[in-house]
Structures are given as structure tokens and as C-alpha cells.
Amino acid sequence: MRGCHNENCWTLRVSALPNPRECAYCASVMPRLAEWTLAAALALSLGPHGVSAAGTAIVSLTPTADTGLLEFKPDYNLGANLDLPSGTLGVPAGQTRSRMLLRFDLSSIPSSSRITAARLRVVVTRSPDGAGSTVLFGMHRILRPWTEGTQHGDPPGGGVGHEGESTWVHRLIPRDTWGTPGGQEGVDYLAEPGSTERVGGPGAYEFEFGADELGHLQRWLQHPEENLGWMLRSQVEETARAARRFGAREHQDPSTRPALILTLETSPGPTPPAITGFQWDGSLAQVHLTAEPNIRYALEYSPLPRGAPWSPAGSTASTNQPGTVTLTDQPGPATKRFYRVAAQP
């Protein structure tokens, strides 16, 4: 539909965003000296991984960060390697230890979901020549912050760590060290593993989490700042030539990358509101939508529809009975903004 207001001609049209679960309205407002692009979009909370109705869903996540700690090269960071070591190396490397760190972002999972099962899948890319036996590995929950880093290189991999990166000695170069080099039990990571698995030669292995670890995963949905990931550590570090290399998130083969596989019981969220209109009077943007009772609707904006953070526009609304609500924003001149409506029970 098309019209004019205060000499500013504007066009309102239906627009499609990349996610098929989103509906959007886009309006272009063109004053005489500046062009405005204003869009209002409802983004469902599950994003591309999930479902919007009640039921069971299985979600597979790849790490947002992984790296290795290498006693043989204590000042090295391995953050950009294609695969990462864990376990005790052989005599040429002084029978030194190595450990792998992994962290997953759970923000795509609605906090109202219940996690009923979880397993962490890793893939061995290399094992000691002729190693026919298996080694017990464990996933230990990490207790203090670390970073992935950007170093890579030929085996054993990595390069000298830079400021803010993690190494065998440092959690964060140059100020923050591990309790002891490589991490201290009870200080940097839990002594008791959340899951163990016997690991042999090349192939996939899964660490299945029990009730305690499921409880922490569930808590991380509400408290993401507590999510520091896991350390993959050999349970027999006194045994030489027991190390394995595991595919990292940078590995060129997606099936070789680690995966956190979650089974969820989902509850239905708010019904997507029907955006019934958009108005612009030269200084005030208004988004009109149908609303459910006891749901808080908030207007958010971003300079891009994808790949940029969303910020609150400051306008919220709710109603005690079904009806129409209006959310507003007053952007500055010559501003480009995309809007979305967030709905929270």
C-alpha cells in the first residue's frame, strides 16, 4: 500500500527474512534529504534449530570455542587448529600431557525448554601408531573463564599465545594463570567427570551426561554466564602414548567437528503476534500488533536484519485481554534501522 504524509512519500510492503519462521513488514521512508529504512519483524525464539510448538526436539550444536592445552609447548595456544590433542604424549615429547577445552552456546534454546538427555560427540582423527587398546577419557566441567585464541600450526599444533589467549600456563595471557599449569582440579575444573568413555582409534565417540550434568545444562539456559564448557581429559595421564587428536570446530569435515546433542521437551511459547500496521510521521515510528493477555511485547532494533546485535528501543507493552498494542521508537535523522518484536510470558 502507498501514501504520503507531510510531503514524505513512503511505501509499506511485506518482506521475507532468511528464516522461514519469521514474518516481517518493511517500510522505506524517504524524506527529501535522507533515506530511512525501517522494518518490524517477529523473530521466534528457537531460531533455525528448533520448533515453535509443544513436543520433543533434538538439537545438535557445534562449539563456539575450542582449544588445546599442551604441556610440551606450555606457551602455545592451539585455538585455530583443525584438530586438538588430549592425553599423554610419547617419549619424544617427554611424556607430557595435553587437554582439550570445549564450549557451546545454548542461547538458541528457549529457557522454557526442559533438557531430558544430552551427549557430547567427538571424533578421533589420529591415535598412536599401532595403538590397539582403549583409554578412558572424561568430560570435566570448567569452573573459570578461558578463551579459544587464534593460533595454529603443524603438529603438535598452535603457536605462541597472544594477549588474552589460553595456554598450558595461562587461562588468559598475561595476567590470569591456571591454579596449576594445565588446570587445577577443584579450582579450574571439577575433579569428577560429568561423563566418561573409553576411546580407541579413529572414529566417533559419545559422552552421555547424567542427571547432575543435565541439571547444570538446564541452569545454563537461565544463567549463560556460568556456561564455561568442558575439559576433555585422559583419566590415566600417567600412561604414555595414550594421547588422541580430536576434530576441532574448524575441521573442514563438518561430521568430524564436536557436537553437543540435546533432547528437549518444549512448551508452546507465545503465539506470534500479527503485525497489523506500521506508521511513520517524520519523527515517530509506530508498530501495531495483535496481543495475547499477560505477554510482554518489546520493540528491538538493529542496523542489520542479520549478523548484528539487537538493542531495546525502550518501548514495551502488554494487555490483560486480547487486543491491539502499539510499540514506538524515535530514531535520529538519516538512520537505518530494522525492528523486531520480542514476546515474553
Same domain, 156 and 81: yes
- Residues 35, 167 share a domain: no
Q: Which of 266, 281, 309 is a domain's end point?
A: 266
Q: Is residue 125 part of a domain?
A: yes
Structural domain contains residue 27: yes
Same domain, yes or no: 130 and 184? yes
**Residue percentage of the chain with pLDDT more than 90:** 57
* Final residue before a domain boundary, out of 213, 233, 266: 266
Question: pLDDT per residue over 221-274, tens digit each?
Answer: 999 999 999 999 999 999 988 999 999 999 999 999 999 999 999 776 667 777
The model's pLDDT over 185-210, given as tens digits with 9 standing for 90+, comes to: 999 999 999 999 999 999 999 999 99
Summarised one tens digit per residue, pLDDT across range 133-152 is 899 999 999 999 999 999 99
Q: Are residues 329 and 203 in the same domain?
A: no
Clarify whether residues 230 and 93 are in a common domain.
yes
Are 19 and 96 contained in the same domain? Answer: no
Is residue 308 assigned to a domain? yes
In a domain, 174, yes or no: yes
Same domain, 317 and 169: no
Is residue 90 domain-shared with residue 22, that is, in the same domain? no
Residue 243's nearest CA partner among 102, 72, 64, 104 is: 72
Domain stops at, among 266, 287, 320: 266
Distance CA 276, CA 251 (A): 46
Rounded average pLDDT over 300-313:
85
Based on the fold, state whether residues 202 and 318 are members of the same structural domain: no
Q: Is the pLDDT of residue 94 over 80?
A: yes
SS (H, E, C) 24-87: EEEEEEECCCCCEEEEEEECCCCHHHCCCCCEEEEEEECCCEEEEEECCCCCEECCCCCEEEEE
pLDDT tens figures, 264-286: 997 766 677 778 888 888 888 89
Domain assignment present for 152: yes
Structural domain span for residue 9: 2-45+270-344
Same domain for 283 and 256? no
For the stretch 10-67, pLDDT in tens is 222 223 333 323 333 333 332 222 223 333 333 322 233 333 445 789 999 999 999 9
Q: Answer yes or no: do 258 and 165 share one domain.
A: yes
CA distances from 196 to 118, 148, 206 (A): 13, 23, 9
Supply the mean pLDDT for the chain.
82
Q: What is the pTM of this model?
A: 0.66
How many structural domains is the chain composed of?
2
- Based on the fold, state whether residues 304 and 332 are members of the same structural domain: yes
Residue 220 has pLDDT above 90, yes or no: yes
